[in-house]
Amino acid sequence: MISIMKYQVLLILLVLSFSKSLSQSLSQERVEWIKSSTVRIIIADGLSSGSGFFIDEKGSIATCWHVIFPSLEKNGKIYIELRNKDTVEMQIEKFFFNNSIGNRNAVGYDFCILCPKRKLDKPTPYMRLGDFNSVNEGQEIFSCGYPLGSQIQFISKGIISTKYLNNNNSIITNKVTMAFPRNEALLDLTLNRGNSGGAIVALGNSSNEDIVIGIADFVVNPLGSLADQIINSSNQSSGLIYTNAILNSSMNVIQGNDMFRNTSILANAMSSMSIGVSGCIPINYLKSALKDMKY
């Protein structure tokens, strides 16, 4: 009798474990939901591109501030590209210009909310915003975005490796650098440039309980800072050499210009390389802004 009971208990545990594994799988329904809620963000004139996701049926988009910042620098228009390749012109919510604290938080925490410049013809699918504090280290997560300027969506799967407070984060206000600590999470998840702004999704027991717990924000690359220095140096040197090439018509100088251009291309490749470690910011920062907006 005891052996039979042990067998029954073991069987129940196996069934429960199997059921849980099924509930955590990314079914086709979930794939459709994540992909249809994810958009490609394009800054006019090819200034930059990134990812974002719908947060309501009116077409409001969440993304990173650094994704749309080039539009402010160069006064470029912001568009989103849907899965069917339709494009919609967007604008930054006025709250971030009219509210100094809201603007500071958006820049410091690196998030932004976009809204359509015109009312959309039909409701959009959207992701349910959750709580960053509801997930733990080691928990499985998913993301969707447009890495490396790709026009094709890419779904990634990984885990939350470490949650921590980044005391080294800072912002520049009136030309003064000030500390701006923020909560972050390191992810065992392959992201690349272009993934920024995509949703970090934690699965529930059903697709209706799936939630966004963070926004894809950065890639950890030990060569990143070095590559950026090479790019900046090469661009400056290339400009000087190109000017001399015009003045002197020197073949050696032109070859030198090619060398700097190739070095810059290589450095760009280095800075875009992913080693499988990335990071996100909590969705709570964006939710706090929505609350202040009386959204």
- When pLDDT is averaged across residues 237-257 and rounded to a whole number, the result is 38
Looking at the domain covering 22-221+274-292, what would its CATH class be? mainly beta
Per-residue confidence band for 36, with pLDDT thresholds at 50, 70 and 90: very high
> Domain ranges in the chain?
22-221+274-292, 224-272
List, in sequence order, every residue forming a beta bridge with 41; answer none if it has no partner. Answer: 50, 80
> Would you report the helix, strand and coil content of the chain in percent, each value rounded to 5?
40, 30, 30
How many CA atoms, within 13 angstroms, populate the side-chain half-sphere of residue 107? Answer: 19
**pTM score, whole prediction:** 0.78
Per-residue confidence band for 146, with pLDDT thresholds at 50, 70 and 90: very high
Lowest mean per-residue pLDDT among 65-69, 153-157, 212-216, 276-280? 276-280
Name residues whose C-beta falls within 8 Å of residue 47's C-beta, 6 or more positions apart in sequence.
70, 71, 73, 74, 76
Per-residue confidence band for 240, with pLDDT thresholds at 50, 70 and 90: very low
Question: Is 46 exposed, middle or buried, given 0-12, 13-18 or 19+ CB atoms closer than 10 A?
Answer: exposed
| More confident call, 53 vs 47 | 53
Residue 24: pLDDT over 90: no
Per-residue confidence band for 230, with pLDDT thresholds at 50, 70 and 90: low
Mean pLDDT highest for which of 59-73, 230-244, 264-278? 59-73
**pLDDT single digits (tens) 75-87:** 889 999 998 889 9
Residue with tokens 């407070």: 165
Per-residue confidence band for 74, with pLDDT thresholds at 50, 70 and 90: confident
Residue 14: pLDDT over 90: no
